[in-house]
Amino acid sequence: MTLLADDARPALARGVRLRLDRITGKTLLLRPEQGFELRGSALDVVRLCDGRRSVTDIVDALAARVADTPRAEIAADVRRLLGELHGRGVLDIDGAGADAHPVVGAS
């Protein structure tokens, strides 16, 4: 199980791109021979994964936009998504800390 620290700094993995499909208008997360369509909050999270922002920074930014959702719920959703994307090899997570949390579904 992968541990995800609050100070971890997620970024797109090498060779992975976030692109807008000009024909369909959909935003895609692309890597060689594979692509994922991103919508809604998943797209918001990935756009914040620049290698500079920490997990806490990402959660804070999203929580500021969505006042009617508890921060703990946002944090759990962000961690789950980051773990899934990391498990699929499209996201690198740099950094570790004493307050690391398990990522559900990642290995």
Q: For the residues 3-14, what does the mean pLDDT come to?
A: 88
pTM of the model: 0.79
Q: For the domain bounded by 3-102, which CATH number is listed? A: 1.10.10.1150
Q: Which strands, in side-by-side order, build the sheet including 17-20? A: 17-20, 27-31, 34-38
- Please identify which residue in the block is written with the tokens 């009617």: 68
Confidence label for 34 from pLDDT (cuts 50, 70 and 90) = confident
Instruction: Report how far residue 1's alpha carbon sits from residue 85's, in angstroms, rounded to the nearest whole number.
Output: 14
**Higher-scoring residue by pLDDT: 3, 16:** 16
What is the largest distance, in Å, between two alpha-carbon atoms of the chain? 45
